[in-house]
Structures are given as C-alpha cells and as structure tokens.
C-alpha cells in the first residue's frame, strides 16, 4: 500500500530502473502499487519517499550512484484517461534528475509497476431546477415579506349591468392560498394582470418578488409560478414590474433591478410554455435573460431600470419590443434572439427622458407602438416608435407634474383614432387625436366629474385576517 504521506508528496522515485507504468482500479478502495515483470529483483524503501531500485545494483554500485527518476503519482493516475491496457512508457527519462548522469551505465534494469487507485467519485447530480425535460419546482419556507398574496376580483363583461364573478363560492381569489395549492410560495405586492393572447391564462406579476404567477382562466386558480430565483450566479432576480406575452408560447418579464452575468440595472427574463391538445398550459421552461451591459452608455444615461415592455403583435415586427426605462431613454429588443436591437439616446426624449412607463400597440399599423413617459415632478410625454424604420418621435407633450400613468387607443363613433391618457397625481384624463397629437379633451377631472357622485358602502377587515375564515371582503 502507498502511505498517505507518499500520496501527499505526489511522486514515486526509481533508481536504476527504466519503469513502465500502468494504472488499474482498486477493488478494495485502497491505493497501492504492484511490481511485476522486473529483469532483476527490485527492492522498495518506504521512508520520506517510495524508492524502487534493483537489489543487485544497490549491492554492487551503491545507491548514491544510481540514476534517480521521479514519477509523479498524479501522472500515473492520469493514465486513466488512456485506453484500457495502455502503458505510460518512456515518461521517466523526461522526468529524470540531471545529477543522475554519473550513475553506472551497466545498471539499466527494467521494471513494470501497476498503481491501483479507487474508482473516481461519481459526478455530483445536476441540481439545476431548469434541466430540460424536468418540471421541477423549488420552494422556500420563507416569503419576501410578512404580507404576501393579494386579492383578485374578476368582473363579468358579458353580464348586462354590474356583476363580479363568483369563484368557488366567493367574490374573489385569495392569491396566497391559490399559490400554496399550486406548490408556490406566496409572493409580495401583486401589480399587473396580463391575459394571454388566447384568453385561456393570465399572468400576475409582483413588484416585491422575482417571479410571477400563471392563472388558469377557467377557474382563476394559480397553476404555476415561473421564477429566476434559482439561476445564480448567472442571473440574480430582483423585482418584476410587469411583462408582455410574445404569442401564447412565451412571456417576457421585466425585472427592474435584476442582474445578468454580473451586471445589474435590470433584466428581461424569458420563459416558454407548452400546451396539451386542448390548449391547456402544461409546463414552462426558462429560456434566457437579457441584461443591461453597456446599455446606459449607449443611451447616454447614468443608470438603467426597465419598467415596461411592449410590441405590436399584429404584423411582421412582432418580435421587436420597445423597453421603457425609469432612468431615462429606451431601447428596442429582439425577443427571438433575446438581444438588443436599437438604443435611443436620451437626447431624443427632450424633457421627458425619465419616467418610462407603458407601451401600447397601434390597432391598425403593425409597425407602430406608443410609449408613455410620466413623472410626478416633471414633464410627461407620449412617443411614437416605428419598428420598421427604428425611429422615435414625440407625439404629444402632456401636462407637467401630472404623472401620466395610463394609456390606451380608442376610436370614436365617427372612426377617429384617439389616445386616452390618464394622470395619476392629478386624477385627470386627456383625449389626444392620434393623427396630429392635438387635445380633444384635456385635464378632465375624474373626481369632480365622475367619482364624487358615486356613493359606495365599504366594509372593514380585521388587521390580521385569513381569507379562509374571513368572508367579508372590501369591495371595489
């Protein structure tokens, strides 16, 4: 057997032998050396080193005149890389000590040595939850905050008059309970409700977490929770503000603070979905993440914080998404390749360079999307992005300090295409003519003109409630 200190020294010493070394697996899990095929009887001295030398040469010549050659154990072990039965011959002269040239030339015996080592330890199992073909879900026993989940209300648009849907006997969905039933950890701060293009599923994003929930619209229950939490160190998830569907097969999540390949400042995460023959979603797979390496420099800003993303799904440019940014400017990305396509310099945005918000598609022109930029203490604007020409122009300057925070296309009864813009801080509404950016209605006060006249009765809730036992809910 080879003592541990010999293994630590990582070499064997041969004096007076031209060795041929083989390697074999040990059946006993011990490391040892077997000497065979020698031309003269060898002797082995085990001390500080393991020295193998011909006994006859020692007796006739003296050990101080023998040619010493070193064979690292690691080198012998490396022969496991060779085909079975291969021998590592002629390696010793390369490793021979120079001071051995004075040795007796008559003592050039040969020896065969087989070094037995235990089988290599098996490679650790691949614990990546995103392995292709595996639908693993990882859940922690802690949440991002003490208050998690949220409440989902569903309004029935097919009912004449006002009607909120009843779901499992209740007028709401407890997102925490539903997430737990789906094997997910409840998430913090639900923010966006994003139906799929085919209307069969809905995604809810959470600004206090790095993942989102997928609901089945037939019963409004959580069925899965795609996440980027377990992709470290390549991807560090942050806070998912919103996202956008890229057909029903792909969702792009906008992570405001995530990191990719060591660069922080936000990320766009892509998950792909599979479906069964009925169109029901079966599984999801993490595809990739687009980080913000060199993006701030390309835009002429000092930082990045992506807020929203949107495309025009109706035409040839559906793979191109415009990404707005809270820190200013914006960019076009390609969802097929998950790469940046075009960066727009902050100078193009004028005094509305910061506060990037929502992106909406033109209903008739497949190459156009609109992007809304709004701030509470500065200017707000709406920009038109041409995905074909890769250009950005300002459509309309909105009121300062209004905090524009909602946008949608709308056609009048006469067929005029307009834009509805809402301002969060002032609770006002604007109607903008799309063709020239002029105001058809400006600063319409939603409180005095609409909401103040509506009297509602609200029900209070206990400070610490569990929806499984508390049936009284605060109604809209």
Write the DSSP assignment of 130-180 as a string of letters. Answer: T-TT-------SS-SSSS---EE--B-TTSSS--BPPBTTBSSEEHHHHHH
Closest CA to 16 of 69, 60, 59: 69
Greater model confidence, 6 or 424: 424
Q: Compute the distance between CA of residue 23 and CA of residue 315 in angstroms, rounded to an integer.
A: 65
Greater model confidence, 116 or 300: 300
Q: What's the pLDDT tens digit per position in 137-176?
A: 566 667 777 788 889 999 888 877 768 888 888 888 999 9
pLDDT higher than 80, residue 85:
no
Beta carbons of 383 and 400 less than 8 angstroms apart: no
Tokens of residue 232, six digits = 């470290």
Q: What's the pLDDT tens digit per position in 197-224?
A: 999 999 999 998 888 999 999 999 999 9
Using pLDDT thresholds of 50, 70 and 90, give the confidence band for residue 84: very low
User: Looking at 12-21, 241-250, 441-450, which range is the least confident one?
Assistant: 12-21
Predicted local confidence at residue 124, as pLDDT: 66
Q: Is the peptide bond before 137 cis (omega within 30 degrees of 0)?
A: no
pLDDT higher than 80, residue 4:
no
Q: What's the pLDDT tens digit per position in 216-245?
A: 999 999 999 999 988 888 999 899 999 999
* Mean per-residue pLDDT, 68-81: 40
Closest CA to 434 of 357, 359, 382, 373: 382
Q: What is the DSSP letter of 352?
A: G
Greater model confidence, 125 or 86: 125
Q: Tell me, rounded to whole angstroms, the distance of Cα 38 from its chain centroid.
A: 60
pLDDT higher than 90, residue 350:
yes
* Mean per-residue pLDDT, 121-127: 65
Beta carbons of 272 and 196 less than 8 angstroms apart: no
Predicted local confidence at residue 28, as pLDDT: 81
Predicted TM-score (pTM) of the model is 0.70
Q: What is the DSSP letter of 402?
A: S
Predicted local confidence at residue 158, as pLDDT: 83
As separate numbers, helices (DSSP H) first and strands (DSSP E) second, the chain gives 7, 31
User: Looking at 124-128, 209-213, 267-271, which range is the least confident one?
Assistant: 124-128
Using pLDDT thresholds of 50, 70 and 90, give the confidence band for residue 93: very low
Using pLDDT thresholds of 50, 70 and 90, give the confidence band for residue 349: very high
Closest CA to 183 of 217, 221, 225, 230: 225
* Residue found by looking up tokens 């950016």 in the block: 437
Using pLDDT thresholds of 50, 70 and 90, give the confidence band for residue 112: confident
Predicted local confidence at residue 130, as pLDDT: 57
* Mean per-residue pLDDT, 85-95: 30
pLDDT higher than 70, residue 186:
yes
Spatial CB neighbours of 222, under 8 Å, sequence gap ≥ 6: 175, 178, 179, 181, 182, 184, 213, 214, 215
Predicted local confidence at residue 6, as pLDDT: 63
């Amino acid at each position: 057997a080879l003592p541990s200190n010999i293994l630590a020294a990582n070499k064997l010493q041969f004096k007076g032998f031209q060795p041929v070394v083989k390697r074999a697996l040990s059946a006993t899990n011990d490391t040892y050396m077997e000497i065979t095929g020698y031309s003269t009887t060898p002797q082995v001295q085990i001390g500080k080193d393991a020295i193998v030398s011909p006994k006859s040469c020692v007796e006739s010549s003296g050990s101080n005149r023998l040619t010493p050659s070193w064979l690292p154990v690691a080198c012998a072990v490396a022969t496991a890389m060779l085909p079975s039965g291969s021998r590592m011959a002629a390696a010793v002269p390369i490793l021979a000590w120079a001071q051995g040239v004075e040795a007796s030339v008559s003592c050039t015996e040969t020896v065969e040595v087989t070094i037995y080592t235990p089988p290599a330890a098996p490679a650790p199992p691949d614990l990546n939850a995103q392995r292709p073909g595996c639908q693993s879900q990882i859940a922690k026993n802690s949440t991002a905050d003490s208050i998690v989940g949220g409440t989902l209300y569903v309004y029935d648009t097919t009912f004449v008059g006002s009607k909120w849907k009843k779901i499992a006997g209740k007028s709401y969905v407890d997102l925490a309970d539903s997430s737990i039933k789906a094997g997910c950890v409840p998430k913090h701060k639900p923010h966006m409700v994003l139906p799929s293009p085919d209307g069969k599923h809905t995604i809810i994003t959470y600004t206090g977490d790095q993942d989102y929930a997928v609901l089945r619209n037939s019963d409004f229950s959580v069925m899965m929770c795609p996440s980027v939490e377990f992709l470290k160190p390549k991807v560090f998830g942050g806070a998912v503000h919103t996202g956008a569907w890229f057909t029903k097969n792909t969702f792009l999540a906008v992570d405001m603070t995530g990191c990719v390949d060591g660069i922080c400042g936000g990320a766009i995460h892509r998950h792909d979905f599979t479906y069964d023959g009925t169109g029901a979603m079966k599984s999801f797979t993490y595809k990739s993440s687009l980080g913000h390496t060199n993006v701030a420099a390309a835009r002429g800003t000092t930082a990045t914080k992506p807020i929203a993303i949107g495309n025009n799904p109706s035409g040839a440019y559906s793979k191109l998404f415009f990404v707005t940014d809270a820190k200013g400017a914006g960019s076009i990305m390609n969802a097929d390749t998950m790469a940046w396509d075009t960066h727009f310099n902050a100078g193009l945005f004028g005094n509305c360079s910061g506060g990037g918000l929502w992106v909406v598609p033109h209903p008739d022109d497949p190459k156009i999307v609109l992007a809304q930029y709004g701030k509470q203490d500065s200017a707000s604007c709406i920009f038109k992005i041409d995905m074909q020409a890769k250009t950005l122009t300002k459509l309309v300057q909105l009121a300062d300090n209004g905090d524009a925070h909602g946008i949608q296309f709308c056609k009048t009864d006469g067929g005029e295409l307009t834009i509805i813009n809402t301002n969060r801080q002032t609770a006002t509404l604007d109607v903008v003519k799309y063709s020239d950016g002029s105001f058809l209605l400006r600063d319409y006060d939603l409180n005095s003109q609409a909401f103040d006249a509506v009297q509602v009765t609200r029900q209070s809730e206990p400070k610490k409630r569990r929806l499984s036992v508390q049936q009284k809910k605060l109604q809209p």
